[in-house]
Structure 1
């Protein structure tokens, strides 16, 4: 009998990416909530190099890093495809997913740090928003083609969490005046029925959690973990 376990944090966009994929594929799994300040022996043994979530455990084998886990899920389980079938579209999806994932540090520094780190993060996030605003012009709904998939899952940090960070920190960069295409996409992303049912339901708790992190200035790199 197939056994699937997911180690994660309820407030982590990276854990939610993996839950998203499992649900879309219709995979039955056991979710195990980890404590960032008191990580379980199972997590430390499953990801001894980075000691981070999410970790997928499939029949005793462990897979780490959210985007790698998404590809594993897509290749291993039956159900709707996450990566496009067309090789070119698949390459595009991987490109945008990598682009978005590489900006995690800048987003964290902008909204959950202070001083020089925050200022550098603001510059990088604004440059990213310019790129995304151009890419999402002409009322573009998805990053690749006309189907929600891999790159859109990677975009959940920008689609939902960035708005939470902005509200929690009081630092607002994504305005309709400066980035109208991105803001229109974000509104559509959050309210799209295909997306909405897989986003975390505890939005109020998510905001309170990150407000506490901002007050504490979140000095460690373990705040989000991917």
Structure 2
């Protein structure tokens, strides 16, 4: 019998990426919730380099970093692929997943914690350019992967769900329907997907978590 364990944290979009991929594949797994304020010995043992979630354990082998884990899952359980099989299309999916990880999500985290208004304004402008780029990449499709959720959609889960909560708490207005109608339509499709719904943390609890962490500053752009 296969051993599949996932060490995660309910707030983490990175943990939820892995859960989503496993559920899309129909892979059974044991979920082990982690308290990142008091890191368990198990987490430190399984991920001694970064000491963070997610960590996937498969038949005694451990791996970290959500995008790396997603590729491993897709290669290990080939049914319901989340990456294209065509080499060029696969390379492009990897490119856009990395773009979202570094440029979009990375920029959004910086905005959330930036205290300097001038610097935050520059970061907001950079984020807006990223969203414009993503709108163009959707190309009229339901999902980045076409008609089915794929690697790029999973990588963008923070934008799809968490960002809306952050905007409510902070007062930021980064992604609105008038500014980014195509991206907002994708967000609607993403959160309404039956499997995605199973992996999303309760909105009210997530709202309370971010409110406590961000101190509810009033950021308007």
- TM-score under structure 2 normalisation? 0.89
Task: List aligned pairs for 1:33-182, cutoff 5 A.
Answer: 33-102=33-102, 103-115=104-116, 118-138=120-140, 140-182=141-183
Q: Which moved more, 1:65-74 or 1:199-208?
A: 199-208
| SS of equivalent to 1:31 | strand
Residue in structure 2 matched with residue 19 of structure 1 by the alignment? 19
CA 193–31 in structure 1, closer or farther in 2 if over 3 Å, else same: closer
Using the alignment, how far apart are the partners of 2:70 and 2:149 within structure 1?
Answer: 14
| SS of equivalent to 1:53 | coil
- TM-score under structure 1 normalisation? 0.87
Contact kept? 1:55, 1:64, Cα under 8 Å: yes
Q: Which moved more, 1:13-22 or 1:144-153?
A: 144-153
Using the alignment, how far apart are the partners of 2:95 and 2:124 within structure 1?
Answer: 23
**Which structure's relative contact order is higher, taking Cα pairs within 8 Å and 6+ residues apart?**
1
- Please give the per-residue CA displacement for 1:141-200, whole angstroms capped at 9, x wherever unaligned: 1113332111111110111111111111111111222222212222222223353x3331
| SS of equivalent to 2:199 | coil
RMSD: 1.9
Number of residues of Structure 1 aligned to a counterpart in Structure 2: 215
